[in-house]
Structure 1
Amino acid sequence: MTVELAGTAERTLPGDEFAALYAQAQRFYAHQMRLLDTHDTERWAETFTEDALLHPLSQPGPIRARAGLENYVRTGAAHQRRAGSRLDHWVGMLDVRPQPDGSLHTRCSALVHATPGQGGPKVLYVCVMQDVLVRSRGEWRIAHRRVTRDDLA
């Protein structure tokens, strides 16, 4: 599945219906980033579909399915604990594009910053996340995510 926002056939929705979908997407990302930042790996992985695909910045190839996602986050959390820093994510500039099949194509900016045990936060990455969100068991879940450095997006 390819995430491509430009040129996709968008589904036009009435303003109030779109506003409700947009609010759902915002809540989804706030919840998902909170799970990631608190190292709740299992619940974070559950925000993806069973067969999800993640293309992160830190790896040349994609991570497939939930078990790989959990391992990826668990490894990152262990690294942060050893380094004595806290990693946080901020998501903004969210663009939501409803698709004819009911999925949402989203694009947002993400700041990833570390706060060491001593001192102030330091921005590590400015990224663009492009996702395909689908409904699964009544919840929005990510079927595909591509994370790109902002200057390469």
Structure 2
Amino acid sequence: MPSTYSRTDLYAEVQQFYARQMQLLDGGAFEAYAETFTEDGEFRHTPGREPARTRAGISAELHEFHKRFDDDPVQRRHWFGMMNLEPQDDDTIRATVYALVVTTRPGGKPAIAPSCVVYDVLVWEDGELFNRSRRVEHDQLFGSAAAAS
């Protein structure tokens, strides 16, 4: 964290980072979303699957994941809240965030699925925030063997 930042400034900066990042994801801009990660970034969002690594790998993973919606007109919105930020001595930030994915289909009512906890390591590079790693844990797997993987 830049030494001139207060906790309030940091919170606002990370909140803005997440707002931009989630809007890229929800808008299908997967390459731009992947660019919010460090070049060697790691992204694990689906239980039981290996994490995607590197920006190219993250983009490819998202394209593959979203093929399931090709014949399903759906709008998904990721909502991040209850953000806890823990600046580390190595200038990284450990962020724990509650995430809800709101899914809406034409003429339907919004449904929340899944509910998750997101564990991020954020880093500053040239004055800009990036994700070094993201691990998403799905609440519906609480207590199951899949949650431990």
What TM-score does the superposition give when structure 1 sets the normalisation length? 0.84
**Gaps (5+ residues) in structure 2?**
none
In the alignment, which residue of structure 2 is the partner of 1:108?
97
Q: Distance in 2 between matches of 1:106 and 1:20?
A: 15
Report whether the alignment pairs 1:49 with 2:38: yes
Contact 2:47 2:137 (C-alpha < 8 Å) held by counterparts: no
**Match status 1:76 vs 2:65:** yes
Cα 1:38/1:51, change in 2 over 3 Å:
same
- Deviation of residue 144 (structure 1)? 0.9
Shift of 1:58: 4.5
Check the 8 A contact 1:80/1:86 in 2, yes or no: no
Residue 37 of structure 1: aligned partner = 26
Counterpart-to-counterpart distance in 2, 1:136 and 1:82: 39
Alignment RMSD, CA only?
Answer: 2.1
Which of 39, 44, 67 is the matching residue for 2:56? 67
Bigger CA drift: 27-36 or 112-121? 112-121
Structure number with higher relative contact order (C-alpha < 8 Å, ≥ 6 residues apart): 1
- Alpha-carbon displacement from aligned partner over 1:78-117 (angstroms, at most 9, x marks no partner): 4324211111111100000111111110000000121112
The CA deviation string for residues 43-81 of structure 1, in whole angstroms up to 9 with x for no partner, is 100000000111212442111111111012223334324
Structure 1: tracts of 5 or more residues without a match:
1-10
SS of 2:107 mapped into structure 1: coil
**Within 2, Cα distance between the matches of 1:59 and 1:88?**
23
1:87 maps to amino acid: R
Counterpart code for 2:39: E
Percentage identity across paired residues of the two chains: 36
